[in-house]
Copies of this chain bind each other. A is one copy, B any other.
Amino acid sequence: MIRSAECKGVIYDLARGDHNSMALFYGIDIGGSHVSAGLVTAEGRLLARAAAPLPPRPPVETVVAVVRRLLAQMAPAGGVRRAGVGVASAVDLDGRARFAPNLGWHDVPLRGLLEDALGMDVGVFNDADCAAFAEAKVGAGRAARYLVLLTLGTGIGGGIVLDGRPYLGAGGLGAEIGHMKIVDDGPLCGCGRHGCLEALAGGLAIRARAARLLEERPDLAARSSLSTDFDVKAIFDAARAGDPLAEEVVAETARYLGVAVANIINILDPEVVVLGGSIASAGEVLWAPVREEAAQGTMGGPRPYVRVVPAALGPDAGLVGAALLASAVYF
């Protein structure tokens, strides 16, 4: 099903041997459509990287086999201490993937299966928790002890770092910020509720908003470069170029994101709120209104120590964060 030729190994530093004296950790990111893995130092430096696609709704055994093969491609001479895994799933404190709609998993004992297959200690976390930890340690929130991350993809994931440590909650199921309800009787969310942040500002919601405006607002549609086939990036690009329909889509999206950021600030009072995923590159057309709404919504007025910033680490944040969590033994 997955052929070796599909793996993209990007081993680039191993030959130099400069890692031999370092403690090395595997970081693994299991998403809905592919697995990526890396060899990472305790300082968060990515020495090697490999990735492979996954079939839709893959059996966990398939994923474990892919992980094993990817790691074998980058195994260093001196061995690896531990592995950290970020997975697109709610993960409990025992490393079980509790519900992973994009993988089709329910209550999968991922940690045990991977420890058996890899023969080493493995920590399993939600992928956004990993990305948040990476951004706090070596990314956009470097040196911040209190950080909240929202990652915008098809849905919206969340990760929280408090006092320099990952915040997982009493049962490991915290930081589901995408499912904070902010509009009563709002649009239907993938989780079955109405008005969650994800249903208002996730990728699917942004595209649906554009499609609706194209249909309902002929005045804007006539002046828009967007037609029937567009992704979120195209909408952001068009808004930056002054497309009035795309600007409307972005403004409405930004307002909901700003409300969510204000709620986060009012509840958690962090130093940094990081927005990652497709939105990180959206530019000021989105960022200015997000920051404005967040500032207006902060109790007592804007706080000088709170920054709202784009993610810095890009798509490798998850695997780097997973490895850093393994290095710090948060499991």
Could you tell me which A residues sit within 8 Å of B by CB distance? 90, 98-99, 145-146, 158, 160, 162, 167-177, 179-184, 186, 191, 193, 256, 259, 262-263, 266-271, 296-297, 299-300, 303, 305-306
**Complex: how many Å from CA A305 to CA B93?**
13
A61 vs chain B, min Cβ distance (A) = 23
A176 vs chain B, min Cβ distance (A) = 4
Q: List 12 A-B contacts (CB under 8 A).
A: A99-B299, A162-B167, A169-B268, A169-B270, A170-B271, A171-B269, A174-B269, A176-B299, A177-B266, A180-B263, A180-B266, A182-B182
In order of increasing CB-CB distance, the 4 nearest A-B pairs are A169-B269, A174-B269, A146-B170, A176-B266
Residues of B within 8 A of A297 (CB): 181, 193
**Complex: how many Å from CA A3 to CA B171?**
52
**Complex: how many Å from CA A169 to CA B299?**
14
**Residue contact A98 to B176, C-beta cutoff 8 Å:** no
**Residue contact A173 to B90, C-beta cutoff 8 Å:** no
Q: Which B residue sits closest to A185, measured CB to CB?
A: B183
**Residue contact A179 to B266, C-beta cutoff 8 Å:** yes
Q: Which B residue sits closest to A146, measured CB to CB?
A: B170
Residues of B within 8 A of A180 (CB): 263, 266-267
A interface, over-half SS: loop
- Scoring A146, A184, A191, A262 by chain B CB atoms within 10 A of each residue's CB, the highest score goes to A184
**Residue contact A145 to B170, C-beta cutoff 8 Å:** yes
- Scoring A158, A267, A268 by chain B CB atoms within 10 A of each residue's CB, the highest score goes to A267
**Residue contact B186 to A184, C-beta cutoff 8 Å:** yes
A180 vs chain B, min Cβ distance (A) = 5
- Given A180-B267, A263-B181, A300 and B173 contact (CB-CB distance below 8 Å): yes
**Residue contact B176 to A259, C-beta cutoff 8 Å:** no
Residues of B within 8 A of A263 (CB): 180-181, 263
A125 vs chain B, min Cβ distance (A) = 13
**Residue contact A172 to B300, C-beta cutoff 8 Å:** no
Residues of B within 8 A of A158 (CB): 267
- Given A182-B184, A186-B184, A259-B184, A176 and B267 contact (CB-CB distance below 8 Å): yes
A105 vs chain B, min Cβ distance (A) = 12
**Complex: how many Å from CA A182 to CA B177?**
13
A148 vs chain B, min Cβ distance (A) = 9
**Residue contact B181 to A169, C-beta cutoff 8 Å:** no
**Residue contact A267 to B267, C-beta cutoff 8 Å:** yes
Of the residues B146, B168, B262, B303, contact of A181 by C-beta under 8 Å:
B262
